[in-house]
Each structure stands twice: as structure tokens, then as C-alpha cells.
Amino acid sequence: MKFLHMSDLHIGKSVNGFSMLDEQRNFFAQAIGYIRSEKPKAVIIAGDIYDRAVPSVEAVKAFDDFLTELAGQEAILLLVAGNHDSPERISYANRLLLDQGLYISGSFKPTLERAVIADEHGPVSIWMLPFFKPTTLKGMYGAKEHSSYSDALRAVLNAQDIDYEGRNVLISHQFYAKAGIEPVLSDSEINPVGGIDAIDAEIVRKFDYVALGHLHGSQSVGYDHIRYAGSPVKYSFSEIKQEKSIICAELGKKGDLSVKRLPISPIHDMREIRGKLSDLISADSAYSDSNEDYIKAVLTDEEEIIDPMGKIRSAYPNAMSLSFDNYRSNSAHAISLYSEAESGRLSYFDMFMQLFLETNGSVMSEEQAAIAIECLNAEQREEMA
């Protein structure tokens, strides 16, 4: 049985004020192309369909357009809710949609929803596990509480009638980890704190394939059959080097699995540029086929620059981020400011100096500092009057 595995669509997400809807629509078009060419029996979406619990009208329409296109193919769709989704909204009309080949599991249920798909080797059971927390299981399975995510998942799986002699696929949106293997994390995720919500991947090892969502980098978790599909779009500059894709997996007879990645090409890529402003905006550097990429600009100029972002965007209209890497920004003074900011000891003047440094890449002159002090003193006098 062949199926496509994707996750973390985050439809409606904006990055640094730039809407990603066009990139997401571009992904949907490529996904439909792969569905037509690969002819899978199933398409799996492992959570985080939307970027927030109450998605925008535009986000809902973009996903509805994709589902409408998918309905014209011969593949069924199976999706579970992620931690960004509203379980109730995702589950809306799910029983009616079964007739259209859409299997939707939004809210956690003690008995997991399951789809059974047959091929020439017999049935494949696909178990659907939406995002949950240990507290979700309170009062279930004869226990008041579970001490960890791993304990909670063991309780969930032990309560299911899973025949591991047959072929089984698990869809799950959680943080899984394998001892001794460092996962690839991204800034755009809700990162686990100290790994406290990590689930031991050994618990799901007996499944023939585990289709995961939550981490945005495509990666396996200790075993080739336990995989994160990753997000189809780059949602942070920590993902610059990631190659976005859809996972195409095929189960043969028991124990026989093949996996390949189907690449996704963005409309605009995400990359970092570094150097002096004059060099970066020169005709040779900027005016090329890639000048509309999403840009993180790092300026190395030592002198003060007026409106640096405006100048960068004159050559790179989709510049998202600007920072400085020069003597002043790396000075001991700047380091001490950050240290004091973290401990909450900065004065209003120091905080303004830090903002000026981050924005302009240089410290204030004596004249600028005098103006800032006078403005702050005037503000304090008004508050005390």
C-alpha cells in the first residue's frame, strides 16, 4: 500500500509579518501533482493543519480548495489534529465526510479511530492519534493520572486491540525522541522544555510505519519507519538549510517498507545575506532571479546607517529580518547590556540605547544621548506632575 505523509501545514501562518498563504497554495498544487503521479491509496496529514485554533477565512478557503481537488482523486485522506488546531473545529462533520473518503480525528477518544485499507497483501490498519496531554486521559483506562507522556501513550496503546502480527500504521502529532539521538528542532515550533514532553520512540517501534507531525524538519526518529514529514514551507530562518518535501511510503508484505522524499519547491526561498550594505544592494548582488527570496540581512558596516531596512528592501522587497554584525554590536558594552536586560536591571535609558544599537548597528553619539535623556526626563516629570 502506497501513501503520502505530510504534516505541519500551519495554513494561515505569517512569518515576520509576511503571509505564507501563497507559499501554502503553491505547496497544495505540488501535492495534488504528486497524488496524480504517484497514485497513493491514502494521504496522511499528521496534525497542525492550521496555524491557530480559529483560522482566518482565507486559511479555511485554501484548505477547502485543496480538499476539493483531492476529492477528485482516488486516494482517501486521513488527518489528525495537532497542538495548534482546535479539535472541535477539525472534527466538524467528520461522520458525514467519511462517505467522501475523509477520515478526521480531532478530539482524543479512549478508543482510537481507525481506517482499514486492503491491498494485495491483505489489510492495513491505520490508527489515528490526535495531539493529547497526559491530563487528557484523566479518568480513562482505570487510572487517575499518568506521570509522563510516555506512560500516557503506553496506556493508550495497551487499551487498543492492535494485532501486531498484521500491518499497522500510526498517525500521531507529538514529540517523539530516541535515546542518544538529538532531534533537529526549528525556531518556528513550540519547542519542548527540557524534553519533559518527549515520548520514547521505542513504544511505537512495533508499528510498520509511524507518521509523525510536530517537528518542522523532515527526519527519522531512531528507525527508518518512525518519521516526521516536516513542514512543507520554511517558517523560520533556522530552516534555511532544510529541504522541504512530502514523504512517499509503500508497505509491501509484513516487514517490507520503502520510503522516498518528494521535493517541494517554494515560490520564494528563504536565505541569509551578509556584508556591507553597498555590496548587498549593488546591481551584481541584488538584481537577480532570487532577489525576491525571503531575506535575513546581516550588515557588517561600522558606520551609522539611516533607514537600513528601507535600503535593503529597495533591492530585496521580501526582506524579513535585519541585524548587524560589527565591532560596535559585538562590543563588551553591548554584551553587558544584554546581560543586564536578562536580569531586569536596565534603566529606561539603557533599554533605549539597546534598541538604538539593534536598529542602527552603532551606539548613540553624545548629542543623540543627550536628546534621549532630555526626552526621558521630560516624560518622568509629566508622570510625577
Tell me how far apart the alpha carbons of residues 21 and 9 are, in angstroms, rounded to a whole number. 10
What are phi and psi for residue 69, nearest 5 degrees? -65, -40
pLDDT for 337: 41
Tell me how far apart the alpha carbons of residues 92 and 374 are, in angstroms, rounded to a whole number. 59
CA dihedral sign, ordered 170, 176, 178, 182: positive
Residue bearing cell 462533520:
93
- The angle subtended at Cα 335 by Cα 333 and Cα 339, nearest 5°, is 115
Burial of 174 (0-12, 13-18, 19+ CB in 10 A): buried
Query: What does pTM read for this prediction?
Result: 0.83
What are phi and psi for residue 173, nearest 5 degrees? -115, 90
What are phi and psi for residue 116, nearest 5 degrees? -120, 125
The number of beta carbons lying within 10 Å of the beta carbon of residue 283 is 8
Concatenated DSSP letters for 64-86? HHHHHHHHTSS-EEEEE--TTS-
The number of beta carbons lying within 10 Å of the beta carbon of residue 310 is 10
Contacts of 15 (CB under 8 A, 6+ apart): 188, 235, 236, 294, 320
pLDDT for 192: 56
Q: Which residue, among 77, 78, 38, 35, has the nearest Cα to 171 in the 3D structure? A: 78
> 3-state class of 294 per DSSP?
strand
Buried/exposed code over 56-91 (b: 16+ C-beta within 10 A; e: otherwise): eeebbebbeebeeebeeeebbbbbbbbbbbbbeebb
Tell me how far apart the alpha carbons of residues 27 and 49 are, in angstroms, rounded to a whole number. 13
Give bridge partners of residue 105 from the DSSP assignment: 80
Tell me how far apart the alpha carbons of residues 147 and 151 are, in angstroms, rounded to a whole number. 6
* Start-end of H helices in 100-202: 149-158
- Identify the segments of the chain with pLDDT beneath 70: 92-97, 99, 143-144, 191-196, 285-289, 328-347, 349-350, 353-354, 356-366, 381, 383-385
